[in-house]
Structure 1
Amino acid sequence: MTQTVPGFDRLTIEPDKLGGQPCIRGYRFGVDQLLELFATGMTFEEIREDFPFLEPEDAQQVFAYAAALAQRDFYLPLQESA
């Protein structure tokens, strides 16, 4: 069963696809994959050469999703001083 990520209608989750990680519009292409490609310095146009199904709105939602995750409160364990 396909579900969309709340607030992100282009990002979908399916338990049997990519281990339930968020994908772009039901494709076997994860949000993390697109972020990693951008992180390597590729432009959207370069990425689209390899993945022509991607649309600019997909990238916008991936960045918005990443920003929302970055705003979540979480705590890293502190290392004790020796």
Structure 2
Amino acid sequence: MPASVAYLFDRITVNPRQCGGRPCIRGMRIRVIDILEFLAAGEQIFKFIEEFPDLEIDYIKATLLYAVRKLDRPVLAA
């Protein structure tokens, strides 16, 4: 994994005592799923950042990369 991608993964944390153990933005109680649902609803990334000024664009990138990596699993034929 390139270093430019690896640092993004440090921005996502999973803590059983925070947000029910769901993946969140590091140091914030913003869940990965909240950002994904916001984007899926057709909202603009910058609108989300306006609502959460501590959130940087790299956190959005990390969220998308996290989702891609979680979904990229091989399916074995029976």
- Whether TM-score is above 0.5 comes out as yes
AA of the residue aligned to 1:68: R
Q: For residues 19-64 of structure 1, what are the alpha-carbon distances to aligned partners after superposition, in whole Å with 9 as ceiling and x for unaligned?
A: 1111001211100000000111111111112111110110111111
- CA distance, structure 1, for counterparts of residue 14 and residue 25 of structure 2: 9
Q: Which has the higher helix share?
A: 2
Counterpart of 2:24 in structure 1 is 23
Give the Å deviation of 1:14: 1.4
User: What residue number does 2:47 align with?
Assistant: 46
Normalised by the length of structure 1, the TM-score is: 0.75
RMSD over aligned CA atoms reads 1.5
Structure 2 residue matching 1:26: 3-state secondary structure:
coil
Do the aligned partners of residues 29 and 74 (structure 1) sit closer, same or farther apart at CA in structure 2, a change above 3 Å counting? Answer: farther
In our comparison, the structure showing a higher alpha carbon Rg is 1
After the TM superposition, list the runs of 4 or more consecutive aligned residues in structure 1 that deviate by more than 6 angstroms: none
Matching residue of 1:61: 62
In terms of fraction of residues, the more strand-rich structure is 1
With CA pairs under 8 Å and 6+ residues apart, which has the higher RCO, 1 or 2? Answer: 2
Any stretches of 5+ residues in structure 2 without a counterpart? 1-5
| 8 Å contact kept, 1:24–1:31 | yes
Mark the runs of 5 or more structure 1 residues left unpaired by the alignment: 1-6, 76-82
Name the TM-score, length of structure 2 as normaliser.
Answer: 0.79
